[in-house]
Amino acid sequence: MAPSAPLTAERILEVTEDVLRRHGPAKATVVDVARELGVSHGSVYRHFRTKAALREAVTKRWLDRTTERLAQVVDGPGDASAKLRRWLSELFAAKRRKAGDDPQLFATYSVLTGELSDLVDQHIDELVGQLTVIVEEGARTGEFATGDPAVTARAVFVATALFHDPRHAGMWSREGIEEQFGEVCALLLRGLRQG
Residues that bind its own copies (CB under 8 A): 151-152, 154-156, 158-162, 165, 167-168, 179-180, 183-184, 186-195
Q: Which is nearer to its own copies, 136 or 165 (CB)?
A: 165
Q: Least separation, in Å, of the C-beta of 145 and its own copies?
A: 9
Distances (CA, A) of 91 to 23, 46, 67, 81: 28, 35, 9, 15
The DSSP annotation for 73-123 comes to HHTSSS-HHHHHHHHHHHHHHHHHHHHHH-HHHHHHHHHHHHH-HHHHHHH
Q: Least separation, in Å, of the C-beta of 154 and its own copies?
A: 6
Q: Which is nearer to its own copies, 100 or 114 (CB)?
A: 114
Q: Least separation, in Å, of the C-beta of 187 and its own copies?
A: 4
CA distance 46 to 57: 14
CA distance 20 to 191: 42
Q: Which is nearer to its own copies, 5 or 161 (CB)?
A: 161
Q: Least separation, in Å, of the C-beta of 25 and its own copies?
A: 19
Q: Which is nearer to its own copies, 78 or 195 (CB)?
A: 195
